[in-house]
Structure 1
Amino acid sequence: MSVVQSIKSAAAAAIKALFDQTIPAKDIAINTTKPEFEGEYTILVFPFTKFSRLKPEETADRLGKYLQEHNPDLVAGYNVIKGFLNIQVNEQYWAQYLQQHFNNRNIGKKPSNGKKVMVEYSSPNTNKPLHLGHLRNNFLGYAVSEILKANGYEVIKANLVNDRGIHICKSMLAWQLFAHGDTPESTGIKGDHLVGDYYVKFESILKEQTEPIIARALEHDYKDFEGADKERMEKLVTVFHKPEIQADQEKLDKLNDEIKELSRKQTEIMQQAKIMLQQWEAGNPEVRALWATMNGWVYKGFDQTYKRLGIDFDKMYYESETYLLGKDLVEEGLAKGILFKKEDNSVWIDLTADGLDEKLLLRGDGTSVYMTQDLGTARLKYADYQMDQSLYVVADEQNYHFKVLQLILQKLQEPCADGIYHLSYGMVELPSGRMKSREGTVVDADDLIVEMINTAEEQTKASGKLDDMSEDALGLLYNMIGLGGLKFFLLRVDPKKKMVFDPKESISLQGFTSTFVQYAHARIKSILRDVAPDVDKLEGYCHKGSLTTLEKELIVLNEQYDNVLEEAAKEMSPSVIANYAYQLAQTFNSFYAEKKDGIPVHSVKQAETPEKQKLRLQIIKLTATTIAKSMKLLGIDVPERM
């Protein structure tokens, strides 16, 4: 039982004795005491005043006295600040906790809770390599999966690969037109990079063909347009030339985007791509063969990147195999009267009563849209695993999409509906601004990995501390530091927030970085090698004396790991773990560095007594274990030496 659980149980018993009220221990609110007040944990007393019929301060005082008198092994003292009861835990309790857990390699591993969760993440397109934006997605999905596992969930890591559609045909067409038979083997270019180069090539040609169409349209020459597109462009251009629009940059930018997209549709190369997509959907053997070949190049490239990043999956889904599944749901929805058809035979759902709008689910020609596919895939995933919850790790640009997806599934009474959870995250930008795939201005994941590892190598060599390590060991260390810096930097920020990635800052030895945490772990391991390689033999030792402030603070922080795990799972936020690991490393560094009159206060090797040495060995051993466990949840390894 954790300290928090012990205090809750004791408080529930005290409330029953003092006020004759039965309160479940789990319903008693307890927080970590603020640093400016004495104590470790704080009980929120305000809810108890309705039956105590006393002021909050008086209620807290009576509860504190009872706890101290009847639970002296747990509660050493208390103080009251308004309606808050701050509890000082008995130092001997902390010593006993340390004895029981300092050598426990299973800390942070909770028993099965019988619940099953699918976490869908990565979800790349097969027309380009993984980039910086994908990395935040992959790291979030992996870390959340590991955090949920540690909390007792059965987790299925899933990847839905976007392997079909017009964007895939763009790369295929550009390869047909310009590659002259090039392959990854003939060029020495990684498969996903080669295919991505032709996507950029397509967009470059598309841009060239689009610009004159836009120029003609703005001069009221609409020869490039027909039918509804012509009517739409005429209206857009009319609005474009209005003085009030020209004076409003935000409206002008939006209008320019509409004109650009409509013009892109009219280009020769886009028309060719549309024909290729139609041929793919019709099962054209040559198009399908090219599609399979180029996707194969990309999958091989993805696998290499995933392996290097330490990212894995339990189940792969492919859009080419799932995009038609939603049509059955649409037909069922029509039969139930939940969906409706318009005059052009398109199928819609009306969500206006729910504060949303009408949503297209099937085009008039019978082709599906993304929502149709996601409906069918949601049903398929549930049929495969019957999970309690289905997490989608997708950027916040799709917030509305997932709100609509869940609502439609609820109206269709699909059993998977209530378990849908959109783990929304903010986009990653560079100090120079936002990345754009079309223009080839993204930061390639493979290039970034190399840059991070090279930076780690430069910093390590500059320190000159590891000249005796073998080349293989140094290579592993550079990977640990480089990839750790990358992962930690992208995970330390709350997922909901946008962020700016700075490679140099991410690998600094100072500040809120993985390198800082890794170095604390390596320093502890160095002390243990030097002082007590047989530290495991201290299992029978329980310290009887007093604790310094930082000795106790480190024990308390370690004990809070289980609560941090629960919070991280509840918030679906690896940043909770990252912040905790940093705080633990920071507190250890303060413990290690504190001096009085120039003499280290917490020396392990030259401790003032054998008892203090044993205590500190237990403390730092537990701290190293907790740091390693925390970082492992984030997909980050910690070194024995740095």
Structure 2
Amino acid sequence: MNIKDIIEEKLSEIILNVYQLKDIKLEVQENKTEFEGDFTIVTFPLVKQLKKNPESIGVELGDALTTQTELLESFNVVKGFLNVKVKNQFFVDQFRSVNDGFSNIEKKDATVMVEYSSPNTNKPLHLGHVRNNLLGFSVAQILKEAGYDVIKSQIINDRGIHICKSMLAWEKFGKGETPEATATKGDKFVGNYYVKFDQEYKAQIAELVAQGSTEDQAKKEAPLILEAQQMLLDWEKGDEKVRNLWSEMNSWVYEGFSETYKRLGVDFDQVQYESNTYILGKDLIQDGLEKGVLYQKEDGSVWCDLTDEGLDHKLLLRSDGTSVYMTQDLGTAVERFKQNNIQKLIYTVGNEQDYHFQVLFKVLGKLGFPWADQLFHLSYGMVELPNGKMKSREGTVVDADELMQEMYDTAEAKAKEIGRLEELAEEERKASYETIGMGALKYFMLKVDPKKKMLFNPEESIEFNGNTGPFIQYTYARIQSLLAKANYEYKEVVTVDANQFEKELIVLLANYKNIVEKAAEALSPALVANYVYDLVKSYNSFYQNQNTPILKLEDDNLRQFRLNLSDLSAKTIQKSLGLLGIGTVNRM
């Protein structure tokens, strides 16, 4: 338990004993170094109940904390705020406790599945996928750190008319070329044919319109779209030629995806494919009809009435018996709970699908699945660039691979500009550029609350100052340099007179596990990102506000304490960055 929690607990006991008030929890805030005292206690919630002014309540609580606990060295009350100065030894003991229990994680008896990525096999991953993958992977890491067993999952959309468009374009215009023969990454190779289809399709539409068709007619009657629709029907019938082409082109895409995932630093424990799951759910629909939960229209289509839930009527099966996305998602959810002992399932999907998931969860609840209330849509805002939105059919998306390479190049240029890393060997320099570039990308993406739309600026993200990944990585490297010069080894320090900067740093270090718990509950890596930024700022204040540099201290006890504090700061920075999928470098 950290000092803040101890104060809150003692305050609750005092309020119960002195005022006979139950379940009152006063807010305890950490003070910054410019304020007197270590913590401030807000007394205003008691004013109305006790009918006393906040100043007198503050004095009474301060006196009680002084006489009934060993915590306080002194206190003062300013405008109803109780400022308390905690005895120095509590901070030293707190630091030792945090250091000793740094890796202790209380296991939770629950398994959580986190789904993310879920790409289509007709195009490469783009900027939107980058935010999705980084967010899903980081949430999985945070849940693991909070003590959950975690299954990282994705479902690949590998069937449908959009896939057939790429296949048909390659068949018509590809002349047998392959990714290997053209030295093109597999997912980009297939994606180029998706763009090619759209170009040729638009040309056919324009030609039909010129011949007198309306645009709507032309879109439906263009030969290419009719051929693509026939190809999808052939695929569903199991046509050998179509299936073989589908398998080959998808294999090219999977090789490409694998390269992107590796560089992005994400992975998966389970992969499902829509081609295997799209028929799941039909039995559920039949069961729902028999139970009277669902209803069938005269044309044979099946619907769910969700008007009592504030939603509308939702189609679950077309009149010809074919499934819709919702049918598949119902079946896939049930299958996941059958095959895995999971207690919660989190879908990492953009906020344009908010309504879809509201419906999915409500329908599963109506069908009688008790775990329906343990489904969660981690809805996130779209990513935009300074020059606007992306359109995949027109080939104007921000390609994930190109973005990662741009981050590497920018990190290299920035490091050379400010004269960093020049003394490293070439391979070590390249590895550092990669770690810094990817760290900049990930931190910039994850420091923003998931629910918010974000504007990604590569140049801004790579700055070595401010709230950026490189700034945090640089502080870690600086500490490693300090520890190396000191030939550091941990030795316990029993007592020391900690200054205000050291106390503030200890409080932040002690708060790591609370932050992880909060981030796991909120499914928000932004809490971890902003925590580690605050920690780095606090460490830099501690480092810079010393009369004597650490390595020149003659007091061996104080020198050891400050080195211990630096070491735990570095470990906490590294661990926090790891939860965001970000690496560290020892020299920078």
TM-score when normalising by structure 1: 0.87
**CA deviations over 1:268-312 (Å, ceiling 9, x no partner):** 211111111111111111111111111111111111111122101
Percent identity of paired positions between Structure 1 and Structure 2? 48
Q: Is the 8 A contact 1:33 1:86 kept in 2?
A: no
Deviation at 1:40, TM superposition (A): 4.2
Q: Please say which of residues 559-568 and 59-68 is displaced more in the overlay.
A: 59-68
Give the equivalent residue in structure 2 for 1:567: 518
**Corresponding letter in the other structure for 2:162:** H
**CA deviations over 1:304-339 (Å, ceiling 9, x no partner):** 111122101111111111111111111111111111
Partner of 1:424: helix, strand, or coil?
strand
Residue of 532, 536, 557 corresponding to 1:581: 532
Give the equivalent residue in structure 1 for 2:240: 285
Residue ranges of structure 1 left out of the alignment (5+ in a row):
225-258, 595-599
Distance 2:68 2:442 in 1: 47
Give the equivalent residue in structure 2 for 1:61: 59
Q: Please say which of residues 515-524 and 347-356 is displaced more in the overlay.
A: 347-356
Q: Is the 8 A contact 1:108 1:629 kept in 2?
A: no
Give the equivalent residue in structure 1 for 2:106: 111
2:172 is equivalent to residue 166 of structure 1: no
Q: Please say which of residues 58-67 and 295-304 is displaced more in the overlay.
A: 58-67
2:488 is equivalent to residue 534 of structure 1: yes
Q: Is the 8 A contact 2:2 2:94 kept in 1?
A: no
**CA deviations over 1:357-393 (Å, ceiling 9, x no partner):** 1111111111111111111111111112232211000
Residue of 71, 93, 98 corresponding to 1:96: 93
**Corresponding letter in the other structure for 2:67:** E
Give the equivalent residue in structure 2 for 1:555: 506
**Corresponding letter in the other structure for 2:397:** V
Within-5 A mapping of 1:364-379: 364-379=319-334
Give the equivalent residue in structure 1 for 2:575: 629
**Corresponding letter in the other structure for 2:144:** K
Q: Is the 8 A contact 1:108 1:562 kept in 2?
A: no
Give the equivalent residue in structure 1 for 2:72: 75
Give the equivalent residue in structure 2 for 1:430: 385
Partner of 1:605: helix, strand, or coil?
helix
Distance 2:208 2:40 in 1: 68
Deviation at 1:8, TM superposition (A): 3.0
Distance 1:87 1:413 in 2: 54
Distance 2:350 2:378 in 1: 8
Partner of 1:117: helix, strand, or coil?
strand
2:563 is equivalent to residue 611 of structure 1: no
Within-5 A mapping of 1:35-434: 35=32, 38-43=36-41, 45=43, 48=46, 52=50, 54-72=52-70, 74-80=71-77, 85-102=82-99, 104=100, 107=102, 109-213=104-208, 223=213, 264-434=219-389
**Corresponding letter in the other structure for 2:193:** Y
Deviation at 1:29, TM superposition (A): 4.9
Partner of 1:297: helix, strand, or coil?
helix
Partner of 1:446: helix, strand, or coil?
helix
Give the equivalent residue in structure 2 for 1:473: 428
**Corresponding letter in the other structure for 1:549:** Q
Residue of 414, 434, 440 corresponding to 1:459: 414
Q: Is the 8 A contact 1:116 1:153 kept in 2?
A: yes
Give the equivalent residue in structure 1 for 2:12: 12
Residue of 457, 477, 495 corresponding to 1:543: 495
Distance 2:396 2:121 in 1: 18
Q: Please say which of residues 109-118 and 308-317 is displaced more in the overlay.
A: 109-118
Deviation at 1:602, TM superposition (A): 5.4
Aligned residues: 587
**CA deviations over 1:486-509 (Å, ceiling 9, x no partner):** 111111111111111111111111
**CA deviations over 1:132-153 (Å, ceiling 9, x no partner):** 1100000000101111111111
Give the equivalent residue in structure 1 for 2:29: 32
**Corresponding letter in the other structure for 2:415:** T
Q: Is the 8 A contact 2:159 2:274 kept in 1?
A: yes
- Assess, with a 3 A threshold, how the Cα gap between structure 1 residues 86 and 338 changes in structure 2: closer, same or farther: farther
2:541 is equivalent to residue 590 of structure 1: yes
**CA deviations over 1:388-411 (Å, ceiling 9, x no partner):** 211000000001111111111111
Distance 2:374 2:258 in 1: 30
Distance 1:501 1:30 in 2: 36
**CA deviations over 1:124-181 (Å, ceiling 9, x no partner):** 1111111111000000001011111111111111111111111111111111111111
Distance 1:362 1:549 in 2: 66
Deviation at 1:543, TM superposition (A): 3.3
Deviation at 1:615, TM superposition (A): 2.4
Partner of 1:416: helix, strand, or coil?
helix
- Assess, with a 3 A threshold, how the Cα gap between structure 1 residues 400 and 31 changes in structure 2: closer, same or farther: farther
Distance 1:324 1:31 in 2: 55
- Assess, with a 3 A threshold, how the Cα gap between structure 1 residues 83 and 562 changes in structure 2: closer, same or farther: farther
Partner of 1:160: helix, strand, or coil?
strand
Give the equivalent residue in structure 2 for 1:639: 585
Distance 2:334 2:582 in 1: 34
**CA deviations over 1:202-248 (Å, ceiling 9, x no partner):** 111122223355677xxxx5x46xxxxxxxxxxxxxxxxxxxxxxxx
Distance 2:415 2:204 in 1: 50
Deviation at 1:66, TM superposition (A): 1.0
Q: Is the 8 A contact 2:98 2:509 kept in 1?
A: no
Distance 1:215 1:57 in 2: 83
Distance 2:198 2:102 in 1: 52
- Assess, with a 3 A threshold, how the Cα gap between structure 1 residues 41 and 414 changes in structure 2: closer, same or farther: farther
Deviation at 1:51, TM superposition (A): 6.3
Partner of 1:535: helix, strand, or coil?
coil
